[in-house]
Chains A and B, each alone.
Chain A
Amino acid sequence: MHFNLQPIPMTATAVLPDQLGPLLHRITGDEKHAPSAHSTLDVLWVLYDRVLRISPETVDAPDRDRFLLSKGHGPAAYYAVLAAKGFFPERWLDDLGGWDSPLGHHPDRVRIPGVEVGTGSLGHGLGLGVGVALGLRAQGYSRTRTFVLLGDAELDEGSNHEGIAYAAATRLPITAIVIDNQSSTHGWPGGIAARFPGWDTSVVNGRDRDRLERVLEPRHDRPNLIVATVERKGS
């Protein structure tokens, strides 16, 4: 097991593809904050741009890669990336949370093409992801990968730890990404990776897209954790 508990130096504000900034502004109406205010943005972009085998044409293909946003809070970056990749029209971004809008403050899989699970209540995505990975394995979709994105504060929910232990015990090929912006009230002394015994683990700069791609791309024959460290929440 690889533990990298050294502090990760932060790069300056990441350069984003030109299109995401304006899309985020359309969602949030917020011109003041840079796109880097969104902790999940770079991980999501790398996943959808470079790693996941999924497109608007394959949202229902049984062997598509699965991405489950467990941390359903603050889905602006998720919506921006899905819109940029053509999963739904960009104009949907202009009415977040409106009566006629498919986009809420937490995503609903029934309303949004490409969204695999409806989340918001914390601690549900990993268990669902374990079930998805098991279902894919049982049906012989051996090339299909399952990714789940969580937040470091979300790990407070005990249900996660049921999934963490069982995935390790069954050598389940699933990739969990924990965005660590140090928002957990009591923190994780000893590091987040130490809470994932039996998993392959790596801790990387959550703003370094090339590094993210290098850890997200390889397949593992047991569960794989990537801790993506970003600026402290509110900093």
Chain B
Amino acid sequence: MMRESFIATTTELLDEDPRTALVLADISAESFAPARHRHPERVLNVGIREQLMASVAGGLALTGMRPYLHSYAPFAVDRAYEQLKLDLGHQDAGAVVVTIGGSYDASEEGYTHQSPGDVALLDTLEGWTIHVPGHHDEVPDMLRDAARHDDRVYVRLGVQENSRAHRDAGRLQALRRGKALVVAVGPMLDPVLEATTGLDVTVAYTNRPRPFDAEGLRALAGREVVLVEPYLAGTSAAAVSAALEGLPHRVLHLGVGRTEVRRYGSWRDHARAHGLDAPGLRASIVDFLG
């Protein structure tokens, strides 16, 4: 559903704004065929060449265009990391990188098509705004906002979705009030709400983990903070630690484990294996809060 949202909104942007360009590396090319037919010089499919996809985006940006690029996260980020670092960042150029296949969404494809480390990799670079939508209705605003400036933006589309959308959730939104704070990023919200039923906790939601809402975290945090992210566990540890500097606190970071799960199955199977389903989260959170 998020992917369909991306295709519809980006197609509209291509129709509305001549500055918009889309660079593909075969993935989703079929879905953009109508847009490509209307805008052959701005919808570019470079073939299975992800390094080139990122470099081309950098070159387009240097001529004043606003490039969107798209592939599986392992190819767009892990594989083309140096192109993102140098052909965008070092050139002081921007682009909107929209990925699918983060973490274990491509569960049946295996580890070659998975990227639990995409956000952590981008965290090593300067100036990336990172969106992790939890619902397909959160996607269009993210893509449209990104069309209005030239900064570097990452939009991480996933197959797991919450039951309802929370728009304007760049800053932390408190959805439930209690003692300890549990922060859910993107699609982790529904499992967190289920996992914390009956617990005395505040549940706060964000779908824009970078730049991290440090002010919001300080305002909501008590002594105990749990962060639940749909990518590598601890990715936000530095951001949380910096936000809570000087405040006595205990933190638990939950997310995707580092150990490769050499199994296929569904994303639900992998969520369970990483303790990111509701029962797994509840066990970890209860154990932490004591």
CB of B23 to closest CB in A, whole Å = 8
Contact flags A91-134 to B (C-beta < 8 A → 1, else 0): 00000000000000000111000001110010010111111111
Contact B46 A162 (CB under 8 A): yes
Chain B residues whose C-beta falls within 8 Å of the C-beta of A110 in the assembled complex: 92
Contact B49 A130 (CB under 8 A): no
Instruction: Check: A159 CB closer than 8 A to any chain B CB.
Output: yes
B contacts with A: majority SS: helix
CB of A121 to closest CB in B, whole Å = 6
Instruction: Check: B146 CB closer than 8 A to any chain A CB.
Output: no
Contact B59 A128 (CB under 8 A): yes
Instruction: Check: A135 CB closer than 8 A to any chain B CB.
Output: yes
Instruction: Check: B41 CB closer than 8 A to any chain A CB.
Output: yes
Given the contacts A62-B64, A162-B49, A166-B47, A135 and B55 also touching, CB distance less than 8 Å: no
Instruction: Check: B243 CB closer than 8 A to any chain A CB.
Output: no
Question: Number of A residues whose C-beta is below 8 Å from B?
Answer: 30
Chain A residues whose C-beta falls within 8 Å of the C-beta of B56 in the assembled complex: 127-128, 130-131, 134
Q: What residue of chain A has the Cβ atom nearest to residue B55's Cβ?
A: A127
Bound CA–CA A169/B44 (angstroms): 12
Interface of chain B residues 1 through 58 with chain A (CB within 8 A): 21, 41-42, 44, 46-47, 49, 51-52, 54-58
Contact A128 B62 (CB under 8 A): yes
Residues on A lying within 8 angstroms of B by beta carbon are 62, 108-110, 116-118, 121, 124, 126-139, 158-159, 162-163, 165-166, 169
Q: What are 8 A-B pairs with beta-carbon distances under 8 A?
A: A62-B63, A108-B90, A116-B62, A127-B59, A130-B55, A131-B61, A133-B59, A162-B46
Residues on B lying within 8 angstroms of A by beta carbon are 21, 41-42, 44, 46-47, 49, 51-52, 54-65, 67, 82-83, 86-87, 90-92
